[in-house]
Amino acid sequence: MGLIGNIKEEIKLIRERDPAIHSNMEVFLYPSFKVMLYYRLAHKLYLQKHYFWARWVSQKAVRKTGIEIHPGAQIGRGFFIDHGNGVIIGETTVIGDNVTLYQGVTLGGTGKEQGKRHPTVGNNVMISTGAKVLGSFKIGDNSKIGAGSVVLEEVPPNSTVVGVPGRVVKRNNRLLPQEELDQIDLPDPVREDIAGLQRANAELTNRLLDLEQEIKILKKNME
């Protein structure tokens, strides 16, 4: 796809995903739009092994947008960064189609790997505000990473991950269209654990009351 085609696709994508954008002209002020233009140029230079100039372009993008995408990263179609300040995407990151990132997301390495050091993100994935995905593993298709999560291991497809360290709290086989990729309707594992303890406590209390009643009946029958 040529430059004009890419621009038209970006405008359409941003207007679909962000209701705060009211005109095509506003899109040109959007950080996600700007950084993707810089990224495409930097990535092209990187593939041609012009590494210094590729980094020069990408660092210029950081200064203008607050978003750092290494020129070596591979990004699919339909990629969207909402607001985007503080987003970091490492060199060996691979991102599939229709992926949404929010501000403060890091797709980074642990500092221990060689070669492929950064995550592979599948299709139709949402990674919420402040989440950190660190290491060379895959986030499966149609998955959601909750805000503030720290993900250190592979995530199966169709999963919801929350917490530090991140853990899978929900899995199913239903696809997650982009309009359903909100950051609110995520399970709360702490609340669920507390609710489970409360149910168990209520069951034990009821059982003790039943036993006390049985003992009273036995004592009465023995008198």
pLDDT, tens digit (0-9, with 9 covering 90-100), for 1-56: 566 777 777 777 777 777 777 778 887 878 888 888 899 999 999 999 999 999 99
Q: Given pLDDT bands bounded at 50, 70 and 90, which one contains residue 182? A: low
CB distance 127 to 100 below 8 Å: yes
Tell me the pTM.
Answer: 0.71
Domain boundaries, the chain: 3-185, 188-223
- Which has more confidence, 172 or 180? 172
Give pLDDT, residue 175: 45
Q: What fold does the segment set 3-185 form as a domain?
A: UDP N-Acetylglucosamine Acyltransferase; domain 1 (2.160.10)
Give pLDDT, residue 174: 52
- Residue with the two structure tokens 């993900």: 151
Give CA–CA dist 175/5, Å, rounded. 28
Q: What is the pLDDT of residues 192-209, one digit of tens each?
A: 667 778 888 888 888 888
Give, to the nearest 10 degrees, the angle between helix 31-47 and helix 51-65: 170
pLDDT over 50 (residue 139) = yes
- Which has more confidence, 211 or 127? 127
Give CA–CA dist 159/105, Å, rounded. 18
81 CB-contact burial (10 Å; exposed 0-12 / middle 13-18 / buried 19+): buried
Residue whose C-alpha is closest to residue 155's, from 121, 183, 179 = 121
